[in-house]
Amino acid sequence: MIEIINLKKHFDSRWVTNGVNLTIPSNQMTVIIGGSGAGKSVLLKQIIGLIPSTSGQVIVNGLDITKLNKNELEEIYKKFGYVFQFAALLDSLTTFENVGITLLEQGLSKKEVLPIVKEKLALVNLGQEVLNKYPSELSGGMRKRVGLARTLVKNPDIILYDEPTTGLDPITTRVIHELMFDMQKKLNITSIIISHDVEIFNYADKVALLHDGKIVYHGDAKTVWESDNPYIFQFIRGLSEGPIQPDIQSVSDNQ
């Protein structure tokens, strides 16, 4: 179980997360949704310690991650896997080297690593034909699957997904959702997923909505459409009327 208690992060004179309280049950899939710029990715990186928190706690199996130093965090990373928004594959390495990088860096030979890489690629429905391809030769969906396979090599207990379906077409999005669901069930992993996509509720166990740096809704995914919480009601239906104001300021700034 992961317990997030009053977690805050101050960035550029504003609170990106401002008192997040959330309990993430073990061996379940929890989806965190929220508007653009709501701080979902920052929260995910705070959970794993990639971004240091201003205050608050993240308790994983009784250990507060926010209090750990760099070396202690390295130990914690044994349990965690992280799938990045755009996969974050190393451009200069082939798929084989990307997926097997953890083992290759531990000193294992290519011969020893190859069967493990093949096994993990098979788990994400990729064949041997991608082994020698570079990230630039893979499609967006394939890159994300390779990113997931790379994470699976560590046999993590917890996987964090940062918007795993961003930029993908609806069919590939569904494939990725099903893949995450299969991983979840097959490997009994705790999954935390940042997403904009309401279709993922069909696969998730829990849903949390982040707004103004706080969790304003947390409940079962199966009943989310029946909730009368005004925030989740507005957000999942994409209504313009409600307590969530569209972030027009940042849109006009970008223009």
Partner 1 sequence: MIIAFVDFIGAKAIMACNVIGGFTLFFLQAFATFFSTRLRLRKVFTQMESIGVNSLLISMLTGIFGGAVLTFQSYIGFKRFGGEEFIGPVVALSMTRELAPVLTGLMVTGRAGSAMTAEIGTMRITEQIDALRTLRINIFQYLIVPRMVASTIILPFLTLFTMILGVIGGYFIATIVLELNGEEFISSIRKYVELSDITNGLIKSGFFGLILSWIGSYKGFYAADGAQGVGIATTKSVVISSVMILIANYFLTAILF
Residues that bind partner 1 (CB under 8 A): 45, 48, 50, 74, 77-78, 80-82, 84-86, 88-91, 101-102, 105, 150, 154
Q: Please state, in angstroms and rounded to a whole number, the distance separating the CA atoms of residues 12 and 198.
A: 31
Minimum distance of partner 1 from residue 162's CB (angstroms) = 9
Residue among 79 and 218 whose Cβ is closer to partner 1: 79
For 175, residues 6+ apart whose C-beta sits below 8 A from its C-beta are 125, 141
The residue (of 48 and 209) whose beta carbon lies closer to partner 1 is 48
100: alpha, beta or left? (left if phi > 0; alpha if psi -120 to 50): alpha
User: In the bound complex, what is the minimum distance in angstroms from residue 249's beta carbon to partner 1?
Assistant: 20
Minimum CB separation from partner 1 for residue 150, in Å?
7
Cβ atoms of residues 56 and 19 within 8 Å: yes
Nearer to partner 1, 159 or 221 (CB): 159
Tokens 């401002």 locate to: 18
CA angle 30, 33, 37 (to 5 degrees): 140
- CB nearer to partner 1: pick between 90 and 122: 90
Q: Which run of H or of E encompasses 135?
A: none
As to burial, measured by CB atoms within 10 angstroms (0-12 exposed, 13-18 middle, 19+ buried), residue 76 is: middle
* Smallest distance, partner 1 to C-beta of residue 36, A: 16
Cβ 231 to partner 1 shortest distance, Å: 29
Minimum CB distance to partner 1 smaller for 82 or for 203: 82
Cβ distance to partner 1 smaller for residue 68 or 198 = 68
Least distance to partner 1 from the beta carbon of 230, Å? 34
Which residues, in sequence order, are CB contacts of 205 under 8 Å at separation 6+? 25, 28, 29, 30, 220, 221
